[in-house]
Each structure stands twice: as C-alpha cells, then as structure tokens.
Structure 1
Amino acid sequence: MLGRMNILCRKSFLHLCRQLAVADGYGANSLNMSRDPLHVKMSGSEFPLILGRDVSGTVMECGLNVKYFKPGDQVWAAVPPWKQGSFAEFVVASANEVSLKPKSLSHAEAASLPYVALTAWTALVNSCGLSKEKCPGKRVLIIGSSGGVGTAAIQLLKSWGAHVTAVCSGNAFTVMKDLGADDIIDYTVASLQDQLKTKDPFDAILDNVGGTSEELALQYLKPWSGATFVTLVTPFLYNNDRLGIADGMMRTGVTLVSKVMKHYCKGIHYRWGFFAPSGPFLDEIGELVDAGKIRPVIEDVLQFSDVRKAFQKLEAGHARGKTVIQVVDPKK
C-alpha cells in the first residue's frame, strides 16, 4: 500500500547509472545502515537489492497527500540510493523526488538525464555556489567532462553563461564542442598541468576523476576570490566498507576537515559533491531541456532482458553516451 506522499510509477524506460561497483558490493555497509538504521540486521540484509536510479514513465497511483501529480501523468525521477532502484516494472517514489517529464523528450531520452543532471546541479549549486545569476563571466574547469555528470555540467554551465574548459580524451572532442565547451584539453597528448599553465585561472573546478586531480586546485584556481574545488570522488562509502560505519564516518570526517583547512589556508574553498534527489530541481532542469539548452546523449537502447549485456558493455569500458533499458512497451 502506498504511503500518503508516495507515487507508484510504471516505467517505460530506465537509465543504466554507475551501478557496476554497487553490484560488486561497494557501499554495502552504508546501504545496510540506511535500510536498517537500528543496525539490527542479519548477514546479507542488503538483499533483495534492486539496482538503478533513473526512471521515466507513467504515474499509476498516488498517495492521499500527493497534490501535484495524478495517475496518467508522464514523469521522470532519480530515486535515492537508500531506496530500492529502478530495474523493475514499477517503482515507488516520494512526491518530492518526481517531476513532470519534459514534453520535448521521449521516455528513452528522459531516462538518461535525471541522476547525472541532479548530481551536476547539486555539485554546482550547493557545493560551488553557482547559479544562473552568478555564472556569467565565471571560468569553470571540468575534469572528466565526457562522462554523464560532465556532459550535464557543461550544458548547465553554458545555459547560465559560464566559460567552460573541458578535460577529456581526444575521441570526445566532437561531443564536447557540440555541447558548447569553450575550451577543450586532451589530457592524453601532454601533461594536464603543462596545458593548464597556458590558461587563465579558474573560478571553480568540478572533478569527476579523483586521484591527484585536487592538486590542481591550489595551482589553477583564483585564490582569495571565493574560488571553489568540488570533487564527486569521495572516500565516504569506501571508508564505511573498510572500517565499519562508526570508524568509517570518523575517518571520513577527519579527512574532509583536514582538506578543507589545507585549501582554506591558501584561499581556496574545498567541497565534496553528492547526488541529491529533488523534484523541484528536476522542474528547473526540465525547463532548460524544453528550451533546448540541455539534451541527452544516448548511445544505445536495449530491452530489459538485455540488462546483463548492458552491464558487460559498461564493464568493457567502451561506452559512449548513455545506455537506456526499455522495461515495458511504452505504447501499452
């Protein structure tokens, strides 16, 4: 039975998010904690586990207190990691996680955007402090720009009037240019640091790669100007898996505080970015989509019976654009 604020959707399409690591057990301790906050659990209590985050489909039922949606509405959403995912014919989502699907997109196109667009949005808005009003004239560097979050971030920033420098391999140049990147750096042809030395300093850096990328913050951001380095690659789940919830969270907190202080002493704001589900944010993203300022990048649409094949394809590392799974015939 539905909760008072929940919506039951029948999905036509879903997008294969970065679920490969989760399928291998990454984040199991945090998942168990979120699904069993009292930590009174049996071994393997994360199962049954349904993967997948993005959905696009039709509202089937609404809870009693749902005011802005009704059965038959065409919607899209990204459900949070602590809930069962979207690799199923039906999904239950909270009303504040759902938005009306952009009219200009098919369900297949819509299913490729919510998770990555919301991740980019929360990183840029909540962590970087950027917005439509603050972006004009800002210089932003995106490391790992050809992935899902990177392509969404480029389009968001360009729609807000920012100058975007994209870091990727040479075979993604055409896509980056088509999405509106002002400057493109191929990290495979020469040292990234050497190439960045020829550029003006940046107001913000969005890191989708991790590793040594944050070392760039102190060298190529404008110090003492409100410049911000945001990374989406954090040790939060890794620490919880390796050390347990209590010790893992303590280690994560110490790491974050030390990095924040290190960069702040040099005049740079250091932040971590996380995905956050939000229907209202999707409303704004949907307006940009219908205005032609954001578009999906899709490589393939597969049948639900081919989910295993889709995972194998992603594991091989040859994906270009998004892979979307058709769960049911959208004409039915």
Structure 2
Amino acid sequence: MFNIVRWNFISGVKTHRLGALKQAVQQRCSRVRQFSSSFRRNTVMPAWVIDKYGGNEVLRFNSNMTFPVINYPNEVIIKVHATSINPIDVNMRNGYGSASLNMSRDPLNVKTSGSEFPLVLGRDVSGVVMECGLNVRYFKPGDQVWGAIPPWKQGALAEFVVTSGNEISMKPKSLSHIEAASLPYVTLTAWAALVNSCGLNKEKCPGKRVLLIGASGGVGTAAIQLLKAWGAHVTAVCSEDAFTLIKSIGADDVVDYKAAQLSEQLKSRELFDVILDNVGGATEALALQFLKPWSGATYATLVTPFLYNNDRLGIADGMMRTGVTLSCKVVKHLCKGVHYRWVFFSPSGPSLDEIGELVKDVKIRPVIEEIFSFSDVPKAFNKVEKGHARGKTVISVTESK
C-alpha cells in the first residue's frame, strides 16, 4: 500500500512537471516557427502557370497552386503585391533557355523530364515578408521588400513566392508596390552591364561617353538613369516617338534609328567609351567604328547565344560552342583596341540597397508604360511580346498602396 501511494505521488509530480515543460516547449516552438518552416505548407494559392512551353495559350490560371515553403535557412516567403512582365518571361514561356535553367533547377539530373511544371513566371517582386528562415538576419515578417527572382526559381505571378534573403532589399518608402515592381530586374541587369561588365561606377563615370542602343525599354531607361546619376554623358538610340521619355530621364543626346542609317548618324558624334547594346545583331559592328581604340573602351551586349546554343546543342556541346564564339569575338575586338563583353543578369540584394538609395535621392524613378490586373496577365504578355516598349508593364497582384 505504501509503495502504491508513493508511486501515485511521484507520478503526480512528474505529470505536473511534464505539463509545464510541454507548455514551455510549445511556446518556444510557436516563436521559432514563424522564422523557420511554413505554417501554411498544406494550403494552396492562386497563380498563373504554364504546363508546357508555347504561345500565350499555355498560360493557365491555377487557383490551387501549391503554397511555397522554406527549404533553406536563408529563404523568405513574400506575399506578392505587384510584379512585372519582362521580355525574359515571354522567352521562357516559349521554352527559351529551358535546358540551362532546368540544369540549374536539377544539377544532378535526378528528376524526370517536365518536372519544372507547373512553372510560375515573373521575375520582379514587391511585397511583404510573411516568414523568414532561421538564418535570415536582415528581414522580419511585415517588412516591405522588393527584389528580382532568378529565372531558375518559381516566379512572382502568384499570391506568394519564396526566394533567398540575399536577393531582396527593403523597398524604398517613396515607392508604391506598383512602382517598386517595375525596377528590380531591369536595374539589376543594367547594373550588371555597367558595373560588372564595363567597370563603371560613380567614381569612374564622370566624363565618360556612353552609347545606349535600344534605350526606350526597361533596361535602357534604367541604364540611362544610373549613368546620369553617376555623371556620364549618355547618347540614346531609339525611335522618334520615345524622344520625350528618353530626354525626360536625362539622356544628353538622342538618335532616331529610323531616320537614317545609324552608322551615318553616329559619324558626326565623338567616339564613345562604352556601348551598351540591348538589340544585338548588326549593331555589333558599331563597336569597332565608334569606340575609342586603345583606351579601355568596352562594347557590352545583352544579346548572347549562350542559352540558345544550350537549347539547340545540349549543355556540353552548347557551352563549347559558346566558349569558342566568345573567345573569337574577344580576340577580334581586342586586336582593334576595344574590349568585348556579354552581360548576364545577376540577382543581388546589396546592389538593390544601393539602387534604393538612388531612388531615395530621386536619381532613379520608375518608368511604367501600363498596369494590368492579376486577371489580365495574358494581355500583359501579349503587349510585351509585341516589343517597342516605353518602360515597364506591371501586374497588380494585390490591391494596395
């Protein structure tokens, strides 16, 4: 009897202590949970997806898209307020770059063919942080952020998106989400061209002469503003109907490529230190004619055969062909006293921090051509696919300021 009473007494104490311990653990977990893995991992969300590559008909509204989850400790989940459509989204819809991008998604090639579907497009994002991974130090739930999502990740044409904390930045307070969504991808592409490929920055730009070919699109308008913020002289090539826009954002000289042969029009100008080409094709010949030879002048182009070669020839043969092509072009231009560079987009939160400071100082402003609702995403794709952009095409995902 004594042993029975003693065991009941001890069991009661243990039960009480275990109850208190369980409550403490639950409280601790509830605090940690909001910074670790998704509390909505079993829910769904609306998104625009493609289930195969093709024309605009492959775009499908999916109200039951799987909710994104945090898989790595440096990731964040963002509630998307706005995104935008870039030419790369149209190209990816068509299947351009799928070989290289699928290798980035699955480097060990363990997944089956077509495993990237359903695929969400949309590279720009402006929204609110909902959840943070354990290693995220600079953001917390509720922060308003902007960023550009790499093409090998699921995009922002959805209610929520997950991305690395290294790829986002605090949204400038002076911008609405609609305005902010127009800038990250194009400004980071322009940054990669000017800073990474051409070696320009605010210290080296003053006095430099820069020629921008294809200046009225998203990357062109971003590049003009970056260059003017850094003190460069900018000559912009576009059609006459874009002159007002291009001059309003700071271009010093504007050339109408439709008025006469471009090379003939440029002969009356001084030689350039940098040519940034957003068009490609025959315009590469301008590098040898209108760059200052033997002065460190650089021709940089956004139009490269890298992804095309990999799609057509496969990864190994494609990269070999690309390497040969680039080497030949570099040597050819170097023999004439100028540098030749290819430009590749690079996501970067720190770069967006610096761009945000320029926005704060009103040295960079959004250039938006048209805003579409989330239900009109196919119409936005149609518009971008036609080309001749005068700024960015933005998608309002969540009605907000």
Q: Displacement of 1:41 after TM fit?
A: 3.8
User: In structure 2, what is the Cα distance between the partners aligned to 1:315 and 1:91?
Assistant: 24
Pairing partner for 2:244 from 174, 188, 197? 174
Distance 2:152 2:385 in 1: 24
> Is residue 2:130 matched to residue 1:73?
no
Give 1:289-328 correspondences, 5 Å limit: 289-317=359-387, 319-328=389-398
Q: What one-letter code is carried by the residue in structure 2 that aligns with 1:196?
A: L
> Which residue of 2 is the match for residue 14 of structure 1?
83
TM-score by length of 1: 0.98
Larger Rg: 2
Is 1:230 the counterpart of 2:297? The answer is no
The code of the aligned residue for 1:80 comes to: P
Distance in 1 separating the partners of 2:396 and 2:224: 27
SS in 1 for 2:308: helix
- Native 8 Å contact 2:273 2:297 kept in 1: yes
Q: Contact 2:371–2:396 (CA<8 Å) still a contact in 1?
A: yes
Residue type of the alignment partner of 1:40:
V
Q: How does 1:238-317 map to 2 (within 5 A)?
A: 238-317=308-387
Matched position secondary structure for 1:44: coil
2:124 counterpart of 1:54: yes
In structure 2, the partner of 1:64 is 134
User: Which range moves more in the overlay, 81-90 or 118-127?
Assistant: 81-90
SS in 1 for 2:182: coil
Q: Is the 8 A contact 1:8 1:91 kept in 2?
A: yes
2:85–2:384: 8 Å Cα contact kept in structure 1? no
Match of 2:60 in 1: none
Aligned to 2:187: 117
Match for residue 215 of structure 1?
285
Q: Give the 3-state SS of the residue equivalent to 1:99 in structure 2.
A: strand
Q: RMSD across aligned C-alpha pairs, in angstroms?
A: 1.1
Q: Which residue of 1 aligns with 2:19?
A: none
**Paired amino acid for 1:252:** T
Change (3 A) 1:187 1:17: same
For 1:94, the equivalent position in structure 2 comes to 164
Report the Cα offset of residue 319 of structure 1: 4.4
Partner of 1:196: 266
Aligned-partner residue type, residue 85 of structure 2:
L
Looking at structure 1, the residues matched to 295 and 130 of structure 2 have their Cα atoms a distance apart, in angstroms, of 50
Output one character per residue of 1:139-169: Cα deviation in whole Å (capped at 9) or x when no partner.
Answer: 0000000110000000000000000000001
Report the Cα distance in structure 2 between the residues aligned to 1:300 and 1:53, rounded to whole angstroms. 17
Q: Tell me the amino acid that sits aligned with residue 394 of structure 2.
A: V
Map Cα deviations across residues 58-116 of structure 1 (whole Å, 9 max, x no partner): 01011111111111111000011111111111111111101000111000000000000
| More moved, 32-41 vs 50-59 | 32-41
SS across alignment from 1:206: strand
Alignment of 1:5 onto 2:74:
yes
Distance 2:114 2:339 in 1: 40
Candidates 181, 186, 192, aligned match of 2:256: 186
Tell me the SS of whatever aligns to 1:104: coil
Contact 2:216 2:389 in 1 (8 A): no
**Structure 2 residue aligned with 1:85:** 155
Task: Give the match for residue 98 of structure 2.
Answer: 28
Give 1:148-159 correspondences, 5 Å limit: 148-159=218-229
Q: 1:314, CA displacement in angstroms? A: 2.1
- Structure 2, unpaired ranges of 5+: 1-36, 38-69
- Counterpart of 1:104, as a letter, is S
Determine the structure 1 residue equivalent to 2:51: none
Counterpart CA distance in 1 for 2:370 and 2:217 is 15
Q: Secondary structure at the match of 1:282?
A: helix
- Mapped to 2, the partners of 1:296 and 1:43 lie a distance apart of 39
Residue identity opposite 1:172 in structure 2: A
- C-alpha displacement of 1:309: 1.3
In structure 2, C-alpha distance between the alignment counterparts of 1:213 and 1:58, rounded to whole Å = 42
Q: Distance in 2 between matches of 1:180 and 1:282?
A: 21
| Deviation for aligned residue 1:121 | 0.4
CA distance in 1, matches of 2:229, 2:294: 26
- After the TM superposition, which of the residue ranges 296-305 and 237-246 deviates more from structure 2? 296-305
The CA deviation string for residues 210-240 of structure 1, in whole angstroms up to 9 with x for no partner, is: 0011110011000110000000000001000
- Structure having greater relative contact order (Cα 8 Å, sep ≥ 6): 1
CA contact (8 A) 2:237 2:255 kept: yes
SS of alignment partner, residue 270 of structure 1: strand
Give secondary structure in 2 for the equivalent of 1:255. Answer: helix
Counterpart-to-counterpart distance in 1, 2:297 and 2:84: 33
Select 2:196's aligned residue among 126, 146, 163.
Answer: 126
Q: Secondary structure at the match of 2:324?
A: helix
* Cα displacement (A) at 1:318: 5.9
Cα drift, residue 32 of structure 1: 1.4
Q: Retained in 2: the 8 A contact 1:31–1:46?
A: no
Cα offset, 1:328, TM superposition: 1.8
